[in-house]
Structures are given as structure tokens and as C-alpha cells.
Amino acid sequence: MHVACVAPECVPFVKTGGLADVIGSLPREIASRGHKVTVYLPFYRQVQSHFPQKKIALQSITVPFQYYNRFVAVIDGGKRDGVQFYFIDSPELFDREGVYGTQAGEYLDNWERFGLFCRAVLEASKQLGVPDIFHLHDWQTAMLPVFLRSIYYFDPMLRNVGTVLTIHNAGYQGWFPPQTTERLLLPWDIFTMDRLEHYNTFNFLKGGAVYSDALTTVSHKYAEEIQTAEFGNGLDGVFRKRAADLHGILNGVDYSKWDPVTDGKIAAHYSAKDLDGKAACRLDLLHAFGAGHIKEETAVLGIVSRMATQKGFDLTAQIIERLTFEDIFLVVLGTGESYYENLFRSLHERFPEKVSVRITYDETLAHKVHAGSDIYLMPSRYEPCGLNQIYSLKYGSVPVVHATGGLDDTVEEWNPESRTGTGFKFRTYYADEYLNAVQRALAVFQDKDTWHTLIRNGMGLDYSWAKPSEEYIKLYKEVAQRRS
């Protein structure tokens, strides 16, 4: 089977979020199972440093718009771990400072940038190899199935290709003016309430959700949540209508990079069988945050996150003063909304013996936080999948999470009677509930034998890409069979 993954970002080329990690791992896993896999990405400025000398796969593809044509090249990115990479090169659209926009906001021509990207991929595939399945990721690629089932409906080369759209975060949908319909040369009869129109906007994600053969989200719980008004962001009705074709497939993680047994970014290696190295990692973390004086019996709490309300920083801010009465030390690593950056700077100034903050993103320091923390806090308001809680489990940093999306799917509440479970959860999004969950963790932390059992429970779990990739392959085959 030939699968073409179409995505707006991918490590190591360009990354703004967890989607990039998925595209860096899932195609490789599928290829390792004997399938042909191609990945298409835009040739952003950030990508260019990886290819100082361009190798041209296709010299020129014509992409028509309402009043003009654009001419794009396709760059051959070569094969990596059995996966063929191609990049759509349109300098006037992709050779820019930001991926999706600047600090002033998103680029106003994102409709053109990603509309062109989708159509160029269709044209390129006709020359470079038509796949059995296009696997699309988020709103930036969601126009591909719309084009495929409208403008390209009678194209004999493409009409039997299946489409799978993965929704990594339903909060980002790609809303544009109604005129986008004719600008992309689409027929006006698709701009209706049951197709792409959404509160008088042209909605990329809605179009993909309506026209794709199958939909997936990045956890079982999130697949249920996006069918509700609270999490569907206005598209819950569309998702409910497609419920039979909507699948929750939990993201995997790359244990070649995130495993305390082999991690080169931490102070000492350790495993579930031998936890000795974790103490050295904890000491190393405290030194990195200027807190070498913290006592062994003090619980070290860690956060690595984008500083935003969605990530639960409003709740953490509400409980922090009450937490300072506990025997804890909190380390926070991340950047984000200026309000929270300034708030946590001030908390560090007010409670230097209890809180230390680094307003930056540092990959090495992130590994140190996971390895050196005793407890990992992830109180996200919503979290489609989440990767950090999975990393924390592997590193023996016990997670305290809000029971939403992938957090609920991956963390099991500790049961002292059966001595099962891997962390602590709170179900209602209230500060008191969050504080109670942290206090339950702190109480168990006092009993080192019990705590080590809890740690080992989490470290023994397998959230690699092996099982998710099998689920995707099964879905690809079902869609391809329907289209054949």
C-alpha cells in the first residue's frame, strides 16, 4: 500500500507543536511495516537550511487561482528511514519569517498558501506516484479532499484515492471570507451549511471533515469530546454526523529520544528495575534551576508547557499560594502568553524558596525536568492527546492531570488498595479539585515504597507507535477497499 502523508510541519525540518513530532514518527513506523510512504510538506524558510542545495523533483507545476496562476517547484527531500520526502516550493508564499504568521497575527493569505499546497500535492502525485491513501493533518491540508471530490472528481488518475483526515486540535480550523470559494476556483454550491460554510465563513477544517472518507483524532476521549458543544468549537454537529467514520487513535511517542535508559540529555541513566539514577537527575535539575539547597524529602513538581490558559495555567496560578504551604518546590519551563510569563516571574520573586521559572524553551532542560521531577503537573483545560504526560510516565515523574482527552486515556488513577494506577486525576475544571489531586500525590510521596511502586507502574507502560501504526494501517485498508 502507498500512503502519502500531507502535513504543515514535521521534525526535524519545522516544528510549532506536537503535530511535527507525529509526522516525524508515524510515517517511519508505517514504512517499517513494509508499506510505501511519501510525506509532502511546504518548503518554508525554516526548512531551507536542511537543503542548502535544492534537488528538483519537478521543475514547475501550475496552480490556477481566480485571476492568476502560480508556478511551484517540488523539491526532492530524499529518503529517510524508508520514507520519501517532497517539499512544495513557492518562495512568495512560504519563504517567510513565520510558519503560519507573526506576532501580529496569522498571515491573511493563509487561504492561498495552504490552498496552493493542497492542489500542488495532488498535481505532484500524478507525476511522482499516486497513492492509495492521502493521510491529511489538520486544517492546513483539509482542502485536499475538497479539491479531490469536486474539481478533480473526473480525473481518472485520482478518483479512486482514499482520504483520511486527522484532527490534532479542533480549535484551529482555518476560517476565511466567503470569496475564498471562487478564489480557489471551487463551485459556489459547496458554500452551504452542510458543506464548507460556517457562520458565513469559508471553513477549511469543516470542508475536510465533510469530504474525507474517514476522520481520526489523536485520542479516544478527544474523539468523543469533539462531538460536544464544549470541545467541538462549532463543528460538533459535523463530527456527530460523521461519528461512524470518526476514530480515536492515540498518538505514540518516540522512545529512541525519550527513554531514561538511553537519554543523553540527563545526568544519569535509570530504569524501572534500577531507579538509582533518578536521584542524580533530580539534583541536576535543581542545580539547573538554582535550587541546589532543596531537601530530599521535599517534592519537586515540574511543568514543561506553552504558557496559556488552554494548558491550565489559570488553575496553577489560582492554587500556587496555597501550594507554598506544602513541602514542595515547583520548576516551570516554557514561553507563551505574556500575562502568564509575567505572573510566574512575579511568583518566583515572591516565593524564591518554592518556585523557579525559566521563560524559554530548551529541549535539554525539558528532558531534565521530566527526569528530575517527582511529580509532573498537566492540568490542561483540554488536551487532544498530550505527549508530556507520556514522557513523565516513562521518566518516573508521576503525573497529576485534568481528566480530558489524551490525559484521561493515558493516566490511570492510583488505587492504594490494589496498588494499581499511574497518577492522579481531577475531573472537574476547578482549582480546589486540582489542588486536591496534587495533595493526594504529595501524601503518597511520603511513603517511598508505595511511591516507587507507583513510579514503576508508569514506567512499565508502552506508548510507542507500534499499536497506533497498526490501527492506522487497518483504517487505510478499509478506506482503500471502499474506494476500489
Tens of pLDDT along 387-406?
Answer: 999 999 999 999 999 999 99
CA atoms within 13 A on the CB side of 406: 23
Instruction: Give the model confidence (pLDDT) of 435-476 as tens digits.
Output: 999 999 999 999 999 999 999 999 999 999 999 999 999 999
The domain segmentation of the chain, as residue ranges, is: 2-252+466-483, 276-459
Q: 383 pLDDT exceeds 90?
A: yes
Region of 202 (left: φ > 0; alpha: ψ -120 to 50; beta: rest) is: beta
Q: 370 pLDDT exceeds 90?
A: yes
pLDDT at 103: 82
pLDDT at 37: 98
Query: Which pLDDT band holds residue 18 (cuts at 50, 70, 90)?
Result: confident
Query: Which pLDDT band holds residue 198 (cuts at 50, 70, 90)?
Result: very high
pLDDT at 60: 96
Q: What's the gap between Cα 450 and its chain centre? A: 33
Q: What is the DSSP letter of 480?
A: H
pLDDT at 32: 97
Q: Average pLDDT, stretch 189-209?
A: 97
The architecture that CATH gives domain 276-459 is 3-Layer(aba) Sandwich (3.40)
Region of 138 (left: φ > 0; alpha: ψ -120 to 50; beta: rest) is: left
pLDDT at 200: 96
How many C-beta atoms lie closer than 10 Å to residue 56's C-beta? 11
Query: Which pLDDT band holds residue 292 (cuts at 50, 70, 90)?
Result: confident
pLDDT at 361: 86
Mean pLDDT of the chain: 96
Fold of 2-252+466-483: Rossmann fold (3.40.50)
Q: E-assigned strands of 25-120?
A: 36-42, 56-64, 69-80, 83-89, 101-102, 105-106
User: In the beta sheet, which residues pair with residue 247?
Assistant: 216
Instruction: Give the model confidence (pLDDT) of 234-288 as tens digits.
Output: 999 999 999 999 999 999 999 999 999 999 999 999 999 999 999 999 999 999 9
Contact (CB, 8 A) for 170 and 226: yes
